[in-house]
Amino acid sequence: MSIAVTTQIICFSVLSLVVIIGALGVILLENIVYSAFLLGGVFMSVAGLYLLLNASFVAAAQVLVYVGAVNVLIIFAIMLVNKKEDLKAIENIKSRRIISTSICLTLLSLLIRVDLSNTWGLAEPNASIGEESTIRIGEHLFSDYLLPFEVASVLLLMAMIGAIVLARRDVMNEDISTGLPVDQELIEKPNEPLLIKKN
C-alpha cells in the first residue's frame, strides 16, 4: 500500500469519526453553546471529506457558507439571547424519547437500506477533474441548473424581507407623552425612550 493511500485512509477515518461523534454531541449535549461550536466542527470535517474527494472548490464554499456564515450567525444568536433559565419538566418525557428514537432509527434503517441496495456509479480513478471542477460548476449553474439557482436566490430574498419586516420598528419623531420633538438619529441612545408607534 503506497503512502498516499495510507494517508487518505487515515484522514478519512479521522474525519468520519469527528463527523459522527460531533453530530452526536450536537444533539446530546445539554449546553447549547457547546452544541453550536460542535456543529462548526462537523461542518469543517465535512469540508475535509470534500477535500478528500478532490472537490476543493466545494470544500472552500462549505467552509465559507456553513462555518463562516451559518454557524457564526447561530452562535451569534445564541450569545445574544443566552438567558439562564430553568426549563420546565416536560410530561411523559420517557415515552416522548422512545417515540423520537424509534422514528430516527427507522429513518436510519431506510438510509442504510438505500445505501446497500443502490449500485453507486463510481467514477474512474483517473477521471477526476480536480481543479477544473470550479469551471464545471460555473457552467452548470448558468445552464441546466439555472432555475434552481435563481429560485434559491429568490428564497433567500424572501427570507431577508421577512426578517426586515419582523425586526423593523417604526420610530416617531416626537415623544408620545410630552409632544416634544426627539432626535432619533441614533436609535441606541440610552437615555431617550424608544417610541414604538401603536396602531
Partner 1 sequence: MNSGLDLEYSFNEILKGFGLSSELAHIIWLPLPMLLVLVSAVVGVLVTVWLERKISAAAQQRIGPEYAGALGVLQPIADGLKLLVKEDIIPAKADSILFTAGPILVLVPVILSWLIVPFGQNLLISNVGIGIFLWIALSSIQPIGLLMSGYASNNKYSLLGGLRAAAQSISYEIPLALSVLAIVLMTNSLSTIDIVNQQSGAGILSWNIWRQPVGFIIFWICALAECERLPFDLPEAEEELVAGYQTEYAGMKFALFYLGSYINLILSALLVSILYLGGWGFPIPVEIIAKVLNLPIDAPVIQVFTASIGIIMTVLKAYLLVFVAILLRWTTPRVRIDQLLDLGWKFLLPISLANLLVTAGLKLAFPQFFGG
We find the least distance from the C-beta atom of residue 11 to partner 1, in angstroms, to be 15
Selection from 189, 198, 190, 193 nearest residue 178 by Cα: 193
Q: Which long-range contacts does 9-13 make (Cβ < 8 Å, 24+ apart)?
A: 11/48, 11/52, 12/49, 12/52
Nearer to partner 1, 6 or 102 (CB): 6
Nearer to partner 1, 103 or 149 (CB): 149
We find the least distance from the C-beta atom of residue 135 to partner 1, in angstroms, to be 9
For 149, half-sphere exposure in the C-beta direction (CA atoms, 13 angstrom radius) is 10
We find the least distance from the C-beta atom of residue 56 to partner 1, in angstroms, to be 5
Nearer to partner 1, 80 or 93 (CB): 80
We find the least distance from the C-beta atom of residue 21 to partner 1, in angstroms, to be 15
Nearer to partner 1, 80 or 122 (CB): 80
We find the least distance from the C-beta atom of residue 123 to partner 1, in angstroms, to be 18
Contact 195, 175 (CB under 8 A): yes
Nearer to partner 1, 76 or 145 (CB): 76
Which residues lie near partner 1 (CB under 8 A)? 2-4, 33, 37, 40, 44, 56-57, 60-61, 63-64, 67-69, 71-73, 75-76, 79-80, 130-131, 134, 186, 188
Nearer to partner 1, 72 or 196 (CB): 72
We find the least distance from the C-beta atom of residue 99 to partner 1, in angstroms, to be 33
Query: In angstroms, rounded to a whole number, what is the distance separating the alpha carbons of residues 24 and 181?
Result: 56
